Amino acid sequence: MITVILAGGAGARIGGDKALRLLAGRPLIAHVAERCPAPLWINASDPRLAAYGVLVPDLPSSGQGPLVGVWSALRAARAAGFETVLTVPVDTPFLPADLPDRLGAALGEAGAAVAATAEGWHATCALWRVAAEPLLADRLAAGLWSLQGALRAVSAHVVDFEGKLTPLFFNINTLADLAVAETMRR
């Protein structure tokens, strides 16, 4: 398994450089990286992020958004001989420590396993089989850019993370979200 932090977005709602925004005096990407098992890749092209893992930029695609990042990571993982890819977003600093284990235990024969809470699926927090890459490529070519749609297409198993005390999948998209996250730190 390889872990890929999805950090390729522009971060426009937070004013840019989302991965490097500070939470408790450290970049968001540092918080996420410390919660992820090695080896670690970063789905981004910003050379400043190379300190956190191997950069795996998006491949040219007619699509956009996180599905392109997942597809690009699956292609790179296949070339490197990995069978599974754990994806997590750069803006969720409170990820559960047992995320990889629980998703791995639920994967079975499915193309992916995805984290969920009462709020719904957390589609960027998923364990993907590298074998799903051609299906993702086909979806992108067809203009189907939905990450949840791709998870449904690979018959992803859904893993319930309810009952945890901290909002584990709290997503930081704005400066207001970042301020809230400061109050939630453990």
pTM (predicted TM-score): 0.93
- What domain range is 106 assigned to? 2-184
Tell me, what CATH number does 122's domain have? 3.90.550.10
**Predicted local distance difference test score (pLDDT) of residue 144:** 93
**Predicted local distance difference test score (pLDDT) of residue 61:** 81
C-alpha span between 50 and 63 (Å, rounded): 25
Ranges under pLDDT 50 in the chain: none
**Cis peptide before 66, with omega less than 30 degrees from 0?**
no
Number of domains in the chain: 1
Tens digit of pLDDT for each residue in 106-160?
A: 999 999 999 999 889 999 999 999 999 999 999 999 999 999 999 999 999 999 9
Sequence-ordered list of residues with C-beta below 8 angstroms from that of 83, at least 6 positions apart, any chain: 1, 129, 130, 131
